[in-house]
Structure 1
Amino acid sequence: MNLLFVCSKNRQRSPTAAHVVANDPEFADAGYEALSAGLNADSDTPLTPDLIRWADVVLVMEPGQRTRLSRRFRAHLRGKRVVCLSVPDRFEVLDPELIELLRRRLRQHLR
């Protein structure tokens, strides 16, 4: 299953989430693949329709990002499951607390 993690700038939360999926056997061995992107124009990897097409599930970090995603990419989201992980923007990339929070939230939404 292809998971696309989306945050604002693709610098902290969404790359960390993709890292968790790729490096945690609980997710990697279950067949999950992950990419990440950002909604802002200055994102490290800006979100594109091609990335959305690739994804089976799109996971945003905050409710406002879900709204922005829907407004900008509504036509590309048809048939896609969109999940809000409710992860606040207060972490650095690969912060151990962020990794543990993401693991818990992923378990809730991917089971």
Structure 2
Amino acid sequence: MPNLLFICSKNQWRSPTAELLFKNHAVHQARSAGTSDKARVKLNQKMIDWADHIFVMEYRHRDLIKQNFRLNGKALTVLNIEDIYPFNDPELVEILQASLAEYL
């Protein structure tokens, strides 16, 4: 079962919304985390190692991960979703569904 990891800054709105899309998914397991020290769930190397594919919301998240963690050849995709949506916002869900269609 491929493991998908979703990353944003504080793990409050965007990445938990993405994780929720995969709750009880037949094929994929998903988790989410944040890059900030104030993140609800803070990203760590164990999460990177667990993931088969890592999705970040912004280019700065990608850059932080590349600077601070070993990716060991993991696939990393920038979704380019701004931090303007609250948790589970219908527009955010629509954007995520379109961006992640091949996984859903």
Q: Given the two structures, how large is their TM-score scaled by the length of structure 1? A: 0.87
Matched, 1:104 2:72: no
Counterpart mapping for 1:81-100 below 5 A: 81-100=75-94
What letter is aligned with 2:85?
Answer: F
Count of residues in correspondence between the two structures: 103
Q: Given the two structures, how large is their TM-score scaled by the length of structure 2? A: 0.93
Percent identity between matched residues is: 39
For residue 49 of structure 1, report the CA deviation from its aligned partner: 0.6
Gaps of 5+ in 2: none
What letter is aligned with 1:86?
Answer: N
What letter is aligned with 2:18?
Answer: A
Counterpart for residue 35 of structure 1: 31
Gaps of 5+ in 1: none
1:34 alignment partner, SS class: strand
For residue 78 of structure 1, report the CA deviation from its aligned partner: 1.2
1:4 alignment partner, SS class: strand
CA distance in 1, matches of 2:46, 2:64: 17
Matched, 1:14 2:10: no
CA distance in 1, matches of 2:74, 2:82: 23
Question: Which of the pair is proportionally richer in helix?
Answer: 1
Counterpart for residue 55 of structure 2: 59
